[in-house]
Structure 1
Amino acid sequence: MLKKNLRILLVEDHPFQLIATEILLNQHGFYRLTPVLTAKDALLAMESSEMPYDLLLCDQGLPDISGLDLIEEATQRGLIIQAVVFSGKAQHDLDEVARHATERGLPLLGCLSKPLFAPDLYRLLSCSESHDGADDE
């Protein structure tokens, strides 16, 4: 069963997409969300958190830095456990992002196309359960 109490930091620079993704997650029982519009705001949220976020769910094409660079910085600083990147780019571009994440040793669960398709997102989130070992609250 998919764990619903994941602490998720959602980073999307387009306000409509941010709200739509937040609603999508809420509709399926994910309420522990911190939505932000920039990598800078994401880093501020992570730095002010008492514990690492379970999941960084972020757009690859952020205006300040790439999603992958944000994941790398957050990982190096121990601010996240795992991550998912999403993008409106073509599948071969997403495959390249995943390859770079592997080369950099990043905790990337996967890359998803925008707009997000709920079953694909939930499949990746289900994978996170096998990596975290934490109990439901």
Structure 2
Amino acid sequence: MVEDDLRILVVEDHPFQLIATQCLLESYGFTRLTTTDSAKSAIQQMLVADRPFDILLCDQCLPDLTGFDLVRFASQRGLIRQAIILSSLTMSELDELVKMATEHRLPLLGYLIKPLKQSELRSLLTSV
């Protein structure tokens, strides 16, 4: 993937997963990354940003807020353009999240099951 100008906010509370996701994104040429380990910190990052993040890539099971609720919060305030949920939930649970996102008209591109698969991440990012 060629270097991209997308601004991506990565929210992951597990340090190894956060670093692995960051490295994977950087290997694809994404250099405009902001990383954080909590919803609270992510909200702070979004509020001080000079413009909305192009993509919010966040874990569904954060300790302080669900990824879905973070996407809803950020979307309703115009702080993000699109989002991708990361999770180890079952396929049926993740499909239900997508259904709820559609009902709430949230800009959810989809979800990725952890551990991340390079081809699936690339596919979602190239659909932006």
Q: TM-score, normalised by structure 1?
A: 0.90
Write the mapping of 1:52-91 to structure 2, written as runs, cut at 5 A.
52-91=52-91
Which 4+ runs in 1 deviate beyond 2 A?
A: none
Whether the 8 Å contact between 1:2 and 1:125 is mirrored in structure 2 is no
Amino acid at match of 1:70: L
Q: How many residues align?
A: 128
Q: What is the rounded CA distance, in whole Å, between the counterparts of 1:95 and 1:112 in structure 2? A: 11
Q: Which runs of 5+ in 2 are unaligned?
A: none
Q: TM-score, normalised by structure 2?
A: 0.96
Amino acid at match of 2:5: N
Write the mapping of 1:121-132 to structure 2, written as runs, cut at 5 A.
121-128=121-128
CA drift of 1:9 comes to 0.2
SS of residue in 2 equivalent to 1:100? helix
Amino acid at match of 1:26: E
**Corresponding position of 2:104:** 104
| Per-residue CA distance 1:40-70 (angstroms, 9 max, x = gap) | 0000000010000000000000111110100
Structure 1 46/37 Cα, relative in aligned 2: closer, same or farther at 3 Å?
Answer: same
| Per-residue CA distance 1:93-136 (angstroms, 9 max, x = gap) | 111111111111100000110011111111111111xxxxxxxx
Q: What is the rounded CA distance, in whole Å, between the counterparts of 1:3 and 1:124 in structure 2? A: 16
CA drift of 1:3 comes to 6.5
SS of residue in 2 equivalent to 1:84? strand
| Percent of matched pairs sharing the same residue | 52
**Corresponding position of 2:49:** 49
| Per-residue CA distance 1:64-98 (angstroms, 9 max, x = gap) | 11101000000111100000001011111111111
Whether the 8 Å contact between 1:2 and 1:126 is mirrored in structure 2 is no
SS of residue in 1 equivalent to 2:70? helix
Amino acid at match of 1:120: E
